[in-house]
């Protein structure tokens, strides 16, 4: 074959390859699984992304959201790791804490480091809040006054965070369980059964109960997260309370899931080019003006992270010394 013929063949092959790339998902349907039931915030983010992401994938596939609740997201992680097709036609959104199960010693049937993390639609900062009738005004008051907080159970962040605050900083919390949902806890707060709640996303608070802040019905005591919320001004962060490197490491560990936000992923075993395709499509989706308009109407904050950023976060957190991880686990249980 002559030199010119070889060049022509290469150009034709490249063009054919490019054309094939444009047809990868043509006529196909992508299943977007959600590890929780319908109607919650994870479901809302999945459906928001699902309505827009197909435009940013080659072949413009349709995307159908399917709910797969069970075992706090662990059922979905098992399905995606061992059953779901590994060609990009199955993606998922799972509860953020599941990615840290192996680190905390929980028995799981998946490897977070082999998961193809696509990106997250937002990251979050949680807050501790008290109802305006409570005698508690600042986080320092909890050195002498007890704050009663409601929770749905010991695995919920609104139980974990007050326990860690008590364990590390000697703050006085009484955690009362038995509330079936956040709504029930909020009603108890309004009735005066509890002082407040310690472990609600600031974005969620603004979206669902923004009038509480506007009308000064609640006071924010402390921020929990890797980043401060600028709108909260000089409200302290848990990192401001930390006095040792170990305390900072424990808070970094318990704040990491908040950075995960609403994490989307694909099964392990995808080819690197298919992972790259899904990641860039996700990046384009969360930056899409049409999605941003819709998210604003839905009161859903979009503060996205790339798949690469999630991978880096997991690598950093999983490098936490074992002794610190063990102490963080004890702190979460209040002992």
Nearest to 225 by CA among 255, 249, 201, 261: 255
Q: Among 9-18, 58-67, 92-101, 183-192, which stretch is predicted with the lowest mean pLDDT?
A: 9-18
- Do residues 9 and 113 share a domain? yes
Mean predicted confidence (pLDDT) in 106-128:
94
What's the rounded Cα separation, in Å, for the pair 165 and 176?
A: 15
What is the per-residue pLDDT across 147-162, written as a single tens digit (0 to 9) for each?
999 998 887 889 999 9
The Cα diameter of the chain in Å comes to: 88
Token pair, residue 237, equals 């962060």
Is 314 domain-assigned?
A: no
Is 221 domain-assigned?
A: yes
Mean predicted confidence (pLDDT) in 168-174:
97
Is 79 domain-assigned?
A: yes
Q: Give 97's pLDDT tier (boundaries 50, 70, 90).
A: confident
- Do residues 246 and 266 share a domain? no
Mean predicted confidence (pLDDT) in 266-272:
96
Asked whether the beta carbons of 73 and 236 are under 8 A apart, the reply is no
Residue reference for tokens 């309004």: 190
- Do residues 253 and 274 share a domain? no
Is 42 domain-assigned?
A: yes
- Do residues 79 and 8 share a domain? yes
Parent domain of 230:
126-257+325-332
- Do residues 15 and 119 share a domain? yes
Q: Is 58 exposed, middle or buried (0-12, 13-18, 19+ CB in 10 A)?
A: middle
Is 318 domain-assigned?
A: no
Is 91 domain-assigned?
A: yes
What is the per-residue pLDDT across 304-317, written as a single tens digit (0 to 9) for each?
999 999 999 999 99
What is the per-residue pLDDT across 61-77, written as a single tens digit (0 to 9) for each?
999 999 999 887 899 99
What's the rounded Cα separation, in Å, for the pair 108 and 78?
A: 8
- Do residues 251 and 130 share a domain? yes
Mean predicted confidence (pLDDT) in 233-254:
96
> Considering the chain, what is the average pLDDT of its residues?
91
- Do residues 38 and 151 share a domain? no
Residue 208 β-bridge partners: none
Domain of residue 148, CATH code: 3.40.190.10
Is 311 domain-assigned?
A: no
Asked whether the beta carbons of 156 and 255 are under 8 A apart, the reply is no
- Do residues 267 and 253 share a domain? no
- Do residues 80 and 138 share a domain? no
Can you state the percent helix, strand and coil of the chain, rounding each to 5? 50, 15, 35
The number of folded domains in the chain is 2
- Do residues 131 and 253 share a domain? yes
Q: Give 2's pLDDT tier (boundaries 50, 70, 90).
A: low
Domain of residue 278, CATH code: 3.40.190.150
Residue 10 has pLDDT above 70, yes or no: no
State the pLDDT at residue 319. 95
Nearest to 25 by CA among 54, 46, 47, 65: 54
- Do residues 23 and 105 share a domain? yes
What is the per-residue pLDDT across 210-226, written as a single tens digit (0 to 9) for each?
999 999 999 999 999 99
> End-to-end CA distance of the chain, in Å?
76
Q: Give 16's pLDDT tier (boundaries 50, 70, 90).
A: very low
What's the rounded Cα separation, in Å, for the pair 10 and 75?
A: 47
Asked whether the beta carbons of 79 and 19 are under 8 A apart, the reply is no
| DSSP string computed for 33-99 | EESS-TTSHHHHHHHHHHHHHGGGSTT--EEEEEE---GGGHHHHHHHHHTS-SSSSEEEE--GGGG
Asked whether the beta carbons of 102 and 189 are under 8 A apart, the reply is no
- Do residues 41 and 150 share a domain? no
Is 93 domain-assigned?
A: yes
Token pair, residue 175, equals 């955690």
Mean predicted confidence (pLDDT) in 99-103:
91
Residue 40 has pLDDT above 90, yes or no: no
Nearest to 96 by CA among 263, 275, 328: 263
Q: What is the DSSP letter of 130?
A: E
Token pair, residue 250, equals 């424990």
Cα-Cα-Cα-Cα dihedral sign, residues 62, 65, 68, 72? positive
Token pair, residue 94, equals 């799972």
Cα-Cα-Cα-Cα dihedral sign, residues 304, 34, 313, 224? positive
Token pair, residue 170, equals 């000697």
Asked whether the beta carbons of 5 and 40 are under 8 A apart, the reply is no
Nearest to 80 by CA among 115, 40, 43: 115
What's the rounded Cα separation, in Å, for the pair 235 and 17?
A: 55
């Amino acid at each position: 074959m002559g030199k010119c013929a070889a060049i022509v063949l290469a150009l034709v092959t490249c063009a054919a390859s490019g054309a094939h790339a444009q047809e990868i998902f043509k006529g196909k349907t992508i299943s977007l699984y959600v590890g929780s039931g319908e109607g919650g915030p994870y479901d809302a983010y999945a459906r928001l992304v699902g309505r827009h992401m197909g435009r940013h994938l080659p072949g413009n596939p349709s995307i159908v959201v399917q709910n797969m609740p069970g075992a706090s997201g662990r059922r979905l992680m098992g399905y995606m790791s061992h059953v779901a097709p590994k060609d990009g036609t199955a993606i998922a959104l799972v509860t953020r804490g599941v990615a840290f199960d192996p680190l905390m010693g929980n028995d799981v049937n998946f490897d977070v480091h082999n998961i193809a993390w696509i990106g997250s639609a937002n990251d979050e900062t949680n807050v501790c809040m008290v109802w305006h009738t409570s005698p508690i005004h600042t986080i320092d008051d909890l050195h002498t006054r007890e704050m009663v907080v409601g929770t749905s159970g010991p695995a919920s962040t609104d139980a974990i965070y007050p326990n860690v605050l008590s364990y590390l900083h000697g703050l006085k919390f009484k955690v009362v369980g038995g509330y079936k949902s956040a709504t029930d806890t909020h009603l108890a707060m309004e009735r005066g059964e509890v002082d407040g709640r310690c472990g609600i996303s600031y974005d969620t608070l603004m979206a669902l109960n923004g009038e509480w802040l506007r009308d000064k019905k609640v006071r924010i005591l402390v921020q929990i997260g890797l980043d401060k919320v600028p709108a909260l001004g000089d409200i302290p962060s848990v990192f401001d309370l930390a006095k040792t490197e170990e305390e900072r490491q424990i808070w970094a560990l318990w704040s990491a899931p908040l950075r995960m936000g609403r994490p989307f992923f694909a099964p392990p075993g995808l080819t690197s080019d298919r992972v790259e395709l899904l990641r860039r499509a996700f990046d384009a989706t969360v930056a899409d003006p049409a999605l941003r308009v819709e998210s604003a109407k839905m009161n859903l904050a979009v503060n996205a992270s790339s798949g690469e950023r999630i991978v880096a976060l997991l690598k950093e957190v999983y490098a936490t010394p074992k002794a610190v991880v063990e102490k963080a686990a004890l702190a979460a249980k209040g002992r």
